[in-house]
C-alpha cells in the first residue's frame, strides 16, 4: 500500500508500523525505546507523529506513537510538524529532568532546543540514567530468562529483579546493560567476577589458559539452548582461535 | 557464489590481513577490531602462525546460540552477517563460536565477525602469500 509521509508517497506493508515504514523510506523519527529485537511498547513517546486517516476532514489530525501505530491505506503522516516538535520538546524536558546526564537524552534535547529542563531534577535516584524505556525488561523477558521487570508506579517506578533482591533467574549475560540506550545499568567486572542487579557471579575460567569466559548460569543456559556440551563454552576466544590454528597446522604440514 | 578460501599451508603469519581488516572496519576514525586473526603457537613451534577467520559454518554455533536472531545468512553471498540493530549484547555468540572467530569489540559494545567486507573481502586482496583467496 501507499502512505504519505511528509508529502512523499512511501510503500508500506500490511501489519507494519508507521515507524518501520518511515525508517525504510529514510525518514528520521527519533526513538529511545525502540529495539529491533523486541516488540515495541511506546514507552518513551518520542516517536510521536501527526496522522490523518483516509476520510478525515482536511484540518483534522491526531498525535500517535509511530512505533505502535499500524499503517493503513491512505494514511497521511507528518513527522516534523510544529505540533510534533512541540510535543517532543515537552517530552524531552521531562526526560531531561529525570535523567540529565543521559547522553542520548541530552543530544536529542539539544536538537529540540532544550538546554535546561523547567522541571525539578530527580534526586537520589538509584538508576539516575534510567528513562524507563523498558528495552532491558523486554529483552530479558522475550529473549533470555525474564529476570528483571518494572516495579512500583509513578515517580517511584523502577527497573530491577523482583523486590529489588538478587535473583537466581538472572544469568548475568549483560544483555540488559548492553542494550540499554542510556548506559543506566551498573555492571561491575573485576576480571574474575561480574556483579549485576545485586548478584555477584563467578566467571568460569578458560579450561586452557584460565582467562574469564562467561558465568556458570549463562553457560548452563547456552547448554540448554544449543544442546552442546558445557565444555564447548568454557574456552576463551583466544584459546579457541589457537585451537583452530593448531588444526590448520596439523593439516598443512 | 564466490567463497573466501583459506590455504593455511601458505600462511606466513605476516598479519597483513589483521591490519587490513581493522582498517576496513573503522570505529569512528579509528581502526576497529580485526575479525581475522593469526593464531600464534602456544608451544612456540617455528612456522606455526596460521590465519583463522569465520568459516561461515553451515550449522553455525554462533547462530544457534543467538537468542535474538541478530545473526543471519545472506543467501546471495552465503555469509553470516551480524545485525547490530537486533543484537542485545548477551555474548552468547562469542561463547558459542567453537573456532574463536567471534570477537567482542569493547569500543562499540557489540560482537564482530567477518562480513566478507560486504562481498569483497579486503584481506584476500592484500594477502601476499595466497593464503586467502576469494574466488
Confidence bin at A253 (pLDDT 50/70/90): low
∠ Cα A67 A44 B109 (to 5°):
90
Q: Do residue B40 and residue A251 have CB atoms under 8 angstroms apart?
A: no
Using beta carbons and an 8 Å cutoff, which residues of A are at the interface with B? 35-37, 139, 143-144, 173-175, 177-179, 213-214, 218-219, 222, 225-226, 228, 232-233, 235, 237-246, 248-249, 251-253
Query: Residue A177 has what pLDDT?
Result: 96
pLDDT at B41 over 80: no
Question: What residue spans define the domains of chain B?
Answer: 4-134
Average pLDDT (A17-29) is 96
pLDDT at B84 over 70: yes
Average pLDDT (B40-66) is 87
Alpha helical stretches, state H, B80-128: 92-96, 122-126
Query: Residue A241 has what pLDDT?
Result: 92
**Model confidence pLDDT, tens digit, residues A63-117:** 999 999 999 999 999 999 999 999 999 999 999 999 999 999 999 999 999 999 9
According to DSSP, the residues that pair with B112 across neighbouring strands are B103
- Partners of A253 on chain B (C-beta within 8 Å) are 9
- State the average pLDDT for chain B: 92
Q: Do residue B39 and residue A174 have CB atoms under 8 angstroms apart?
A: no
Of A179, A239, A249, the CB nearest to B89: A179
Instruction: Give the lowest-confidence range in A49-53, A216-220, A243-247.
Output: A243-247
How far is residue A178's CA from residue B126's CA, in Å, rounded to a whole number? 34
pLDDT at A19 over 80: yes
**Model confidence pLDDT, tens digit, residues B89-131:** 999 999 999 999 999 999 999 999 999 998 899 999 999 999 9
Query: Residue B95 has what pLDDT?
Result: 96
**Stated length of chain B:** 135
Chain B nearest C-alpha distance from A106 (Å): 20
Query: Residue B40 has what pLDDT?
Result: 80
* CATH architecture, domain B4-134: 2-Layer Sandwich (3.30)
Chain B nearest C-alpha distance from A14 (Å): 22
Q: Taking phi first (over 0 means left), then psi (-120 to 50 degrees means alpha), and beta for anything else, what does residue B86 get?
A: alpha
Angle of helix A82-98 relative to helix A103-111, nearest 10 degrees, comes to 150
- Partners of A146 on chain B (C-beta within 8 Å) are none
pLDDT at B83 over 90: yes
Confidence bin at A252 (pLDDT 50/70/90): confident
* Neighbouring C-beta atoms of residue B28, cutoff 10 Å: 8
Given the C-alpha cell 548452563, which residue does it identify?
A220
Could you tell me which chain A residue has the CA closest to the CA of B53? A241
| Domains defined along chain A, listed by start | 2-80 (3.10.20.740), 135-246 (no CATH)
8 A C-beta contact, residue A31 and residue A47? yes
Amino acid at each position: 500500500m501507499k502512505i504519505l509521509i511528509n508529502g512523499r508517497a512511501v510503500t508500506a506493508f500490511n501489519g507494519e508500523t508507521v515507524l518501520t515504514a518511515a525508517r525504510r523510506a529514510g525518514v528520521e523519527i527519533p526513538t529511545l525505546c525502540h529495539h529491533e529485537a523486541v516488540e515495541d511498547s511506546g514507552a518513551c513517546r518520542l516517536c510521536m507523529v501527526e496522522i490523518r486517516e483516509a476520510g478525515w476532514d482536511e484540518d483534522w489530525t491526531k498525535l500517535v506513537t509511530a512505533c505502535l501505530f499500524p499503517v493503513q491505506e491512505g494514511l497521511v503522516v507528518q513527522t516534523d510538524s510544529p505540533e510534533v516538535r512541540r510535543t517532543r520538546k515537552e517530552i524531552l524536558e521531562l526526560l531531561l529532568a529525570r535523567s540529565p546526564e543521559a547522553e542520548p537524552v541530552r543530544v536529542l534535547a539539544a536538537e529540540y532546543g532544550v538546554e535546561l529542563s523547567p522541571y525539578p531534577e530527580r534526586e537520589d535516584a538509584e538508576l539516575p540514567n534510567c528513562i524507563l524505556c523498558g528495552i532491558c525488561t523486554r529483552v530479558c523477558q522475550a529473549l533470555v530468562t525474564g529476570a528483571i521487570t518494572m516495579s512500583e508506579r509513578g515517580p517511584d517506578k523502577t527497573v530491577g529483579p523482583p523486590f529489588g533482591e538478587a535473583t537466581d533467574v538472572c544469568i548475568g549475560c549483560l544483555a540488559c546493560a548492553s542494550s540499554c540506550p542510556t548506559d543506566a545499568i551498573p555492571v561491575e567486572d573485576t576480571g574474575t567476577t561480574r556483579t549485576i542487579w545485586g548478584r555477584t557471579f563467578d566467571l568460569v575460567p578458560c579450561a586452557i589458559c584460565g582467562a574469564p569466559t562467561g558465568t556458570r548460569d549463562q553457560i548452563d543456559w547456552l547448554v540448554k539452548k544449543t544442546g552442546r556440551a558445557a565444555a564447548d563454552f568454557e574456552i576463551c576466544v583466544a584459546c579457541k582461535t589457537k585451537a583452530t590454528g593448531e588444526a590448520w597446522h596439523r593439516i598443512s604440514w | 557464489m564466490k567463497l573466501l578460501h583459506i590455504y593455511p599451508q601458505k600462511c606466513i603469519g605476516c598479519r597483513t590481513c589483521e591490519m587490513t581488516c581493522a582498517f576496513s572496519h573503522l570505529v569512528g576514525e579509528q581502526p576497529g577490531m580485526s575479525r581475522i586473526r593469526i593464531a600464534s603457537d602456544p608451544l612456540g613451534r617455528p612456522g606455526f602462525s596460521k590465519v583463522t577467520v569465520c568459516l561461515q559454518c553451515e550449522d553455525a554455533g554462533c547462530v544457534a546460540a543467538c537468542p535474538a536472531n541478530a545473526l543471519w545468512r545472506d543467501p546471495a553471498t552465503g555469509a553470516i552477517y551480524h545485525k547490530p540493530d537486533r543484537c542485545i549484547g548477551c555474548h552468547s555468540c562469542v561463547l558459542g563460536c567453537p573456532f574463536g572467530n567471534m570477537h567482542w569489540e569493547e569500543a562499540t559494545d557489540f560482537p564482530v565477525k567477518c562480513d566478507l567486507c560486504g562481498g569483497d573481502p579486503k584481506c584476500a586482496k592484500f594477502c601476499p602469500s595466497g593464503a586467502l583467496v576469494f574466488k
